[in-house]
Structure 1
Amino acid sequence: MNQASMHGVIRGLYEGILDPGAWQHSLRALTEMAGTAHASMMVWDTVRDQVTVNEIVNPVEELFSTYENDFQAVDPAKAFAPRLVPGAWYIDARDLGPHAMARHPFYCDFFNRFELRSYVACLVERQPHYEVYFSMQRALSQEAFSGEDTRALDWVIPHMRSAIAMRDRTLGLSTLAALSARLLERLAFAVAVYTPDRRMLLANTAGERWARRLDPAGKTGDWHLSRGFADMLQAACNPGRPVAAQAARATDASGAQAQVLVLPLPPTHILASHWQQPAAVVVVHEADAPSILLETVLRDLYALTPAETRLATRLATGEGLPDASRQLRIRHETARTQLKSIFLKTGCGSQAQLTHLLSRLAATLEGN
């Protein structure tokens, strides 16, 4: 086994994050290295006790459909699987033994019918509800697998695990982005998510249109902001002390106006955790556009609970905490506890700062 072949296999696994053909090429190369008849990735749904075979090398449709439909339930490897840790191998000739293999219906009625003698399976990934295995099979004309065979392939398993994790993460991000884009399109206002260097991560159609107005790539635009857009993004994305809320007025030559609100994306938000970098949410409310509810924005952007949202909206009107708790008919101590949670979620450090954030937000959303 030469280094060039090994590097080719590893490269194909990582390229397979986006290109299934590259992953298949790596599996095929592994079968050639190990001298096997077939190879596949197998997913065991441990809740429904159902094994699905996919990404097959040298596929024989009847072989794998017969396994899934009739013989996966009596696969002797299942009895050994709970003892495995990720990276460990099940080797039938070693774990089950040649005598048991000769009598077992899995081999007598299934494997031998398809001229197969032996197989191995490595636990690549174990999750709460499913497990992923890399499996190889050898023909009747070949020797049964041994520990030496699997040790010769141990180097590839960590790369499989990493590539699978990266592929799952990429798929999750793609799904999240597609879902977020569909939801954003339903909003009646422009919204976009930016990095500190003004790179747009996500936006609805209205947000993309405003991106050219807010940041015209060094050119003079038709719209002018009362504050520098780049400075607002930098302040919102400051990892040490992000500015809780900033507002600017946008005007064009014809006198049309819009309110631009820049908010830091909370570090606990799912988008922030996926992108793993500071980001800012930019909301643009045009003067003639329908208003949106402050309560909805507080819930969606800052994950405030209904009770916290009710308190926050009372504070946005300028009420103090004692008056707000009295109007909401809650104890002052309860209101203080809720306020501390609101501080934590919005990044504010005082009631004055929170009131400033909420008043700016309410004014922008109402188009004032």
Structure 2
Amino acid sequence: MSNTIVDQIYEAAFVPEQWSHALQSVAAETGCASGVIATWDAEQLPQGFRATPLVRPAVESTMRSPQGQDSRRFTALHGVINDGFTSIDSLLSREAFDTDPIQVGLRALGLESQAATAIPMPSGELVCISFERRLADGPFDERAISGLNELRPHLARAGLMAARLGLERAQTTVSGLRAIGLPAVVLTLSGRVLATNDLFDALPSTFLPSSHGGLAINDVDANRLFQASVSATRSLNEPLVRSIPIVARDGRDALVVHVLPLRRAAHEIFSGGDLLVVATTVRPNASTPSPSILMGLFDLTPSEVKLAVALASGNTVQQAAADASIRLTTARTYLDRIFRKTGTHQQSQLVALLKSTHAIDSR
């Protein structure tokens, strides 16, 4: 996927009036005519939305209408929340799909198929993103869904910022860091610290100063992934992961560190900074991890998430492969990717990390 599109997504995280352009670019790349992002706060009250021009009036009407809010597609979408982008028409019966109030509104605009994803945020908010196709362009095929899922980790991180900022523009470095309400630090491309907020300063046992005014994570595996992410951004490459887990130890909660590039107008808002590093706190819990949390935290694909959940539930790789009807070699390939994305090296270490990702706290 084009780096320009990724840059537009991260710019929109802090300059929400740019969401329309970012969504239109994604739509054009995936054979769609329109796109929407909508956010709900931690109490599940609507915060707002941004949309491309074609559907903006219809979305505004839907967000204000009780009938629109009661659309069965929202309930259906929550049922597959861990599957990434999903074609809505595959979730509803033909009658339910044809009579759905949102579908009626889309058809009035010449639109037919819609692919959407619901992304629970670590701090309790919910972000929903959808893209729509014209009737003449046919339903979403596997290639289009794959293209959208390729961008989902970027959309999730940008969505986290959009939800924390309430889809409002970050005005300055100081006000932006305060409004995010999570531990955050702004870095230059060289890794030098430009600005921090009070929540970040309260984590001295996690983040350490390094040479030349830089930053390091007090965890060998996490720091390796973190430095690789910073280095890749410096060379204008896309790193393997931008969401980095830090295991709990010595009374410290597990954390996930998100590395967001500050592109275009966002670069100016944050005093010419190039990277925003945000930490979300993970409360330990012995329960099986939420698939939606795993997708948002570790950039795992839907297939990798299913394997990770199976392993955390106590299954062997062989059992997980059989249950998913995939070859053992395929499962081992997924496992290797999961190791690299989570910074773990063996299955027991991975399971211990996954079991700490059940509930998220934004303290």
Same-fold call, TM cutoff 0.5: no
Which protein is bigger by CA-based radius of gyration? Answer: 1
